[in-house]
Amino acid sequence: MNKKRGFLTFLLFILTIAFIAFVIIMQHNFLNPDFATAETNENINLNDNKDKKKENVKDVEKVDKDNDVSTEEDQDKTTPTTKYVNVDLLNVRSDPNTNSEIVGVVTLNQKVEVENVDNDEGWVKITTDDFTGFVNSKFLDEEV
């Protein structure tokens, strides 16, 4: 009887230690900004936003050709604009792709300075008080 009781006590002790280790690991992952948005950024459908942007650029170019004025896209390249983050956490990367190093994280409604970058994927260069890097423009809005 004492052997059985001792074994059950030992088993309960091991399960308790495993549970505590699990909680500590999950807490660390939750607080780690790399973990928070890694999968959500990859699972979002990019095609809808690409099509809308292409339509908007075509419309702007058509109007500008009639008015003989530089395109809105050219103006955005030279003058940074202010935009706001529209997701809870957004990784800011060193280069305009998801494989590059994360240089920082911006949060919902955070104000950032934006410069357009020439690419088909919609990446833009942003600047905050703490760092400069690249994000996809679909995660930024003109207003809060």
pLDDT score for 40: 47
pLDDT value of position 106 = 92
Which range has the top average pLDDT, 37-46, 55-64, 81-90?
81-90
pLDDT at 94: 92
Q: Which band of pLDDT confidence, cut at 50, 70 and 90, is reported for residue 7?
A: very high
Same domain, 59 and 111: yes
Determine the Cα–Cα distance for residues 5 and 1; give it in Å rounded to an integer. Answer: 6
Report the number of distinct structural domains present in the chain. Answer: 2
Q: What pLDDT sits at residue 60?
A: 52
Question: What is the Cα–Cα distance from 77 to 116, expressed in whole angstroms?
Answer: 5
Query: Residue 13's pLDDT is what?
Result: 96
Length of the chain: 144
The rounded distance, in Å, linking the Cα atoms of 72 and 80 is: 12
pLDDT band at 121 (very low <50, low <70, confident <90, very high): confident
Residues 41, 103 share a domain: yes
pLDDT band, residue 63 (cuts 50/70/90): low
85 and 132 part of one domain: yes
Q: Which domain holds residue 1?
A: 1-31
What's the pLDDT at 112?
93
Report d(CA 12, CA 85) in Å as an integer: 47
| Same domain flag for 71 and 135 | yes
The answer to whether residues 8 and 59 belong to one domain is no
What is the token pair recorded at 124? Answer: 């833009």
Q: Are residues 72 and 134 located together in one domain of the fold? A: yes
Give me the chain's average pLDDT, please. Answer: 76
Query: Which residue do the tokens 């030992």 mark?
Result: 10
49 or 91, greater pLDDT:
91
pLDDT of 55: 56
What's the pLDDT score for residue 57?
Answer: 55
Same domain, 65 and 2: no
For residues 26 and 72, membership in a common domain is answered with no
Amino acid 28: pLDDT: 79
H helices of 1-144, in order, are 2-31, 33-42, 47-67, 72-78
- Is the domain of 53 the same as that of 80? yes
